[in-house]
Structure 1
Amino acid sequence: MKKIEFKATNYLSDLTDTQWEQIAEYFPQGPNSEHHKRTLLNAVLYLVNNGCKWRALPHDFSPYSTVHSFYRRARLSGLWEKVLEAVVQKTRLTAERNAAPSYALLILKV
């Protein structure tokens, strides 16, 4: 199995090493992976942070079609929700609170 090296970019939206360590288990490298999952995730975060078009993704990330496919597969599988839930639980436990909130407020704009 070939080892995919992570190539760091230097964008404000990039994950720190600590942030990546906390969620890396949700993004395992497959045997046929050509792109490091952290690179793909950083590209998605860049898009969300900057609100640009997929095709306007800077060229130091993986090709936009690859990033889009990664994002879409994670969305359809429910992976984003799993990662967000784990981060919320860890954050709450660090703050010495219950892992799951006992209530939530929903504010709807009409």
Structure 2
Amino acid sequence: MTRQAYDTDLTDGQWQILEPLLPPAKSGGRPRTTDLREILNAIFYLLRAGCAWRLLPHDFPNWHTVYTYFRGWEADGTWEHLNQALREQVRLQAGRNPDPSAACIDSQSV
């Protein structure tokens, strides 16, 4: 990374956990040139700052590239997969069953 870090940037440890959970580059066509860590850093910045896509700082990848990855991962279930995998890891580290047996929805026990 050749830019100054933002508070929302992934640490090396966080990146090591997330990197294997991301989908691989599609086969055929041009090889991927976009750094997925920078894509995630841009998305986390955007979510924390609450800014519009077009207002992402210029030291991140182009806003349209970031948006395209975000929407693609939303459509193919990558965000759901990341959430599930990370939740399971946290629950296992806490000595709990990886799958929750109850949930709280709108302050109601289910």
Please give the alpha-carbon distance, in whole angstroms, between the structure 2 residues aligned to 1:68 and 1:12: 20
Cα displacement (A) at 1:27: 2.3
Residue 103 of structure 1 aligns with which residue?
102
Distance change in 2, residues 1:90/1:96 (3 Å): same
Q: 2:14 aligns with which of 6, 12, 19?
A: 19
**Contiguous gaps of at least 5 residues in structure 1:** 1-5
Task: List per-residue Cα deviations over 1:84-106 (Å, max 9, x = no partner).
Answer: 11000000100111101111010
Identity over aligned pairs, percent: 37
Post-superposition offset of 1:28: 5.0
Mapped to 2, the partners of 1:98 and 1:29 lie a distance apart of: 29
Letter in 1 for 2:11: T
Question: Which runs of 4 or more aligned residues in structure 1 lie more than 3 Å from their structure 2 counterparts after TM superposition?
Answer: 6-9
1:35 positional shift: 1.0
Q: Secondary structure at the match of 1:91?
A: helix
Give the TM-score normalised by structure 2: 0.86
Aligned length: 103
Note the aligned Cα RMSD (angstroms). Answer: 1.7
Q: Say whether residues 1:10 and 2:5 are aligned partners.
A: yes
Shift of 1:26: 2.1
Structure 2: gaps of 5 or more residues? none
Q: Please state how far the C-alpha of 1:29 moved relative to its aligned partner.
A: 5.4
In structure 2, the residue matched to 1:83 is 82
- Structure 1 Cα separation of the partners of residues 31 and 93 of structure 2: 36
TM-score by length of 1: 0.86
Q: How does 1:54-65 map to 2 (within 5 A)?
A: 54-65=53-64
